[in-house]
Amino acid sequence: MDHRNDIREFLASRRARITPERAGLPNYGGTRRVAGLRRAEVAMLAGVSPDYYTRLERGNLTGVSDSVLAAIARALQLDEAERSHLYDLARAANTTPRTRRRPAKQQIRPGVQSLLDAMTEAPAFVRNGRLDVLAVNRLGQALYAPAFDAPGRPVNLARFCFLDPRADDFYPDWDDAANTTVALLRTEAGRDPYDRALTDLVGELATRSDDFRNRWAAHNVRLHYTGFKHFHHPVVGRLDLAFEAMPMPADPGLTLTAYSAEPGTPAWDSLRLLASLAATTTQTDDPHQAERP
């Protein structure tokens, strides 16, 4: 991944979607040579010189202040996820090789696994920013059975989504699942563009999947803390589940995701059936070993 290129394409793509009318600028008609705003218009809205904004959009965020980033975010009408991504890009641009630290190996503490195991009625797992599933409870493994049936550990939800043909059936709205997956990886790449494992994963997916490559080029990012997900499980059928994704402050970079269903709904009945099957079926994978290579 080229960090300067990522900055350039992110800013240019956000600028291209803002029309003069949306920005509150007069439109005198005629054909505009660029989609959306001109660089000079963004600079005016942000209160910086056109030359300075041009420097930023060419990928040079070195030394940029938080106040300027905030002004650029307002001018481009960035949402919360995009604003955070812009700050992450700037932080990475101002990180020198000397201050970059070798990332520590991500490990699951016994207490975290015990918590997962205690959640017997909610599918739950812990993942990192690359969407590697590092720990899972029994019901979570049963929910994601198609992904856990594939060889290789840790299970990676991005590889499953784009490279496993079963994902088309598992996700009834595959396009939404694919967009979310790429947006999460793009968000993580902004946080840590020097993660070699993430770079390798993105390169693999971009090489093997046109769908991934096209979505990656859109530079969309997303905060993914709560909402609904839809599954078509090969045994119990349709599952419409609410989810909560909770960053783990004691384990930076890890997120615990748990699913639930409203009592009395078809999803509730199906989830209880899945839990019963998971409790009585011999599993080929030990969920305590989700991270095993």
Domain ranges of the chain: 3-93, 110-289
What's the confidence (pLDDT) of residue 29? 61
In the chain, which stretches have pLDDT less than 50?
Answer: 98-101, 284-285, 292-293
Quote the pLDDT of residue 151.
82
Identify the CATH number of the domain defined by range 110-289: 3.30.450.180
283 Cβ contact partners less than 8 Å away, ≥ 6 residues apart: 138, 141
Q: Residue 289 has what pLDDT?
A: 53
The letter for the amino acid at 175 is: D
The reported pLDDT for the residue numbered 106 is: 74
CATH (residue range 3-93): 1.10.260.40
CA distance 226 to 251: 20
Distance CA 258, CA 235 (A): 20
Task: Say how many CA atoms lie within 13 Å of 34 toward its Cβ.
Answer: 16
Across 14-166, the runs of DSSP E, i.e. the strands, are 124-127, 133-136
Q: Quote the CA–CA distance of 8 and 230 in Å, as a whole number.
A: 35
Cis amide bond preceding 154, omega within 30: yes
pTM score, whole prediction: 0.88
Tens digit of pLDDT for each residue in 156-184? 999 999 999 999 999 999 999 999 999 99
**CA distances, 34 to each of 8, 29, 285 (Å):** 15, 13, 54
Q: How far apart are CA 268 and CA 250, in angstroms?
A: 32
Give the pLDDT confidence score for residue 104 in this predicted structure: 56
Q: How many helices (H) and strands (E) does the chain have?
A: 15, 5
pLDDT confidence of residue 1? 58
pLDDT score recorded for residue 284: 45
> Whole-angstrom Cα distance, residue 127 to residue 202?
17
Q: Locate tokens 């009408």: which residue?
A: 77
Q: What are phi and psi of 128, to 5 degrees?
A: -100, -175
